[in-house]
């Protein structure tokens, strides 16, 4: 779907309660925004996105600008009817391929520049939640790049809240250009550390070998290092795979999993079966 096709339905006035930078100084700026929505009917779960509507006018005569952001924490209204969605926002600027001129990303800069107490218009949520399997023995493979880690922050928290003694393995692969750009797994914030002492949870970092060059994030290398266990999980009758982040991650995964499977044809057959059984879930942009 096109973004303009999402911009419909009921809008909500949200208040920015807190804005916190979660990457170290000197690296790309990523902020965690905590919103408050006074609406008893607003709720969102891991895997869903919220629409942010930036007031205009904007270029080309647009009355407003619309972007989707994955939630980083499940939210339901409390006893007072206040829902508290959390967003993970990277400040983005773009270089024009022809002129070389730099342009500020409209929605990301708008959100990153907001001061606590400001009002934000949102709508949604959109998309289907990441489903927590009923069987706590189900193995889960979670793969993310950049801000694609946000839905997994929400998902893992909900998973262990509902299944504190789960026996199934949870392997999280998170990719970034450098250690400074890892989200929720760096010196500023390591929200996944509370799960490290659980025997079922493991988190692995996939970084670019030369972060200041154009080298890609080494997601394939990180997975290949654990090829035997990853392929064993994929071969399981009930294992599930969740993928989140930029769409370019899909080609990387197809390449590395084809190598593990022995051929591209074998992997595509396995992937098609996973999708048919709703055990392969993508949240990419």
Per residue in 29-72, pLDDT (tens digit) is 999 999 999 999 999 999 999 999 988 766 655 667 889 999 99
What letters, b where the CB count within 10 A reaches 16 and e where it falls short, cover 18-50? ebeebbeeebbebbbbbbbbeeeebebbbbbbb
Distances (CA, A) of 82 to 47, 49, 151, 214: 21, 18, 21, 44
Residue 6 pLDDT? 56
Q: How far apart are CA 94 and CA 103, in angstroms?
A: 5
Residue 214 pLDDT? 46
Which residue, among 88, 86, 93, has the nearest Cα to 35 in the 3D structure?
86
Omega before 125 cis (within 30°)?
yes
Q: What is the mean pLDDT of residues 205-214?
A: 60
Q: Is 66 exposed, middle or buried (0-12, 13-18, 19+ CB in 10 A)?
A: middle
Which of 2-6, 164-168, 209-213 reaches the highest mean pLDDT?
164-168
Q: What are phi and psi of 105, to 5 degrees?
A: -65, 130
Which residue's structure tokens are 């509902």?
A: 162
Residue 89 pLDDT? 95
Query: Under DSSP, is residue 39 helix (H, G, I), strand (E, B) or coil?
Result: coil
Q: How far apart are CA 256 and CA 33, in angstroms?
A: 34
Q: Is 239 exposed, middle or buried (0-12, 13-18, 19+ CB in 10 A)?
A: buried
Which of 57-66, 96-105, 155-164 reaches the highest mean pLDDT?
155-164
pLDDT, mean over the chain:
87
Residue 186 pLDDT? 80
Q: How far apart are CA 246 and CA 285, in angstroms?
A: 5
pTM given for the model = 0.86
Q: Is the pLDDT of residue 280 over 90?
A: yes
Contact in structure between 144 and 172 (CB atoms under 8 Å):
yes
Give the percent of the chain with pLDDT over 70.
88
Residue 75 pLDDT? 92
Query: Under DSSP, is residue 281 helix (H, G, I), strand (E, B) or coil?
Result: strand
């Amino acid at each position: 779907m096109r973004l303009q096709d999402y911009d419909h339905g009921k809008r909500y006035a949200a208040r920015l309660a807190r804005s916190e930078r979660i990457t170290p100084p000197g690296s790309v700026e990523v902020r965690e925004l905590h919103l408050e929505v006074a609406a008893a009917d607003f709720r969102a779960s891991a895997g869903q996105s919220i629409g942010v509507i930036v007031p205009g006018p904007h270029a080309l005569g647009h009355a407003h600008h619309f972007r989707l952001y994955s939630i980083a924490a499940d939210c339901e209204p409390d006893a007072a009817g206040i829902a508290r969605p959390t967003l993970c926002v990277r400040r983005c600027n773009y270089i024009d391929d022809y002129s070389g001129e730099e342009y500020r990303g409209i929605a990301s800069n708008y959100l990153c520049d907001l001061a606590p107490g400001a009002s934000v218009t949102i709508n949604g949520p959109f998309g289907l939640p990441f489903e927590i399997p009923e069987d706590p023995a189900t193995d889960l493979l979670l793969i993310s790049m950049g801000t694609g880690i946000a839905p997994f922050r929400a998902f893992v928290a909900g998973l262990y809240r509902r299944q504190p003694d789960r026996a199934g393995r949870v392997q999280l692969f998170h990719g970034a250009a450098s250690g400074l750009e890892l989200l929720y797994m760096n010196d500023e914030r390591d929200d996944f550390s509370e799960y490290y002492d659980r025997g079922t949870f493991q988190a692995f970092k996939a970084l670019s070998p030369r972060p200041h060059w154009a080298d890609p994030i080494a997601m394939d290398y990180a997975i290949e290092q654990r090829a035997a266990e990853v392929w064993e999980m994929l071969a399981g009758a009930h294992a599930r795979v969740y993928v989140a982040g930029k769409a370019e991650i899909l080609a990387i995964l197809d390449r590395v999993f084809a190598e593990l499977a022995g051929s591209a044809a074998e992997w595509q057959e396995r992937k098609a079966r996973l999708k048919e059984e709703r055990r392969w879930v993508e949240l990419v942009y």
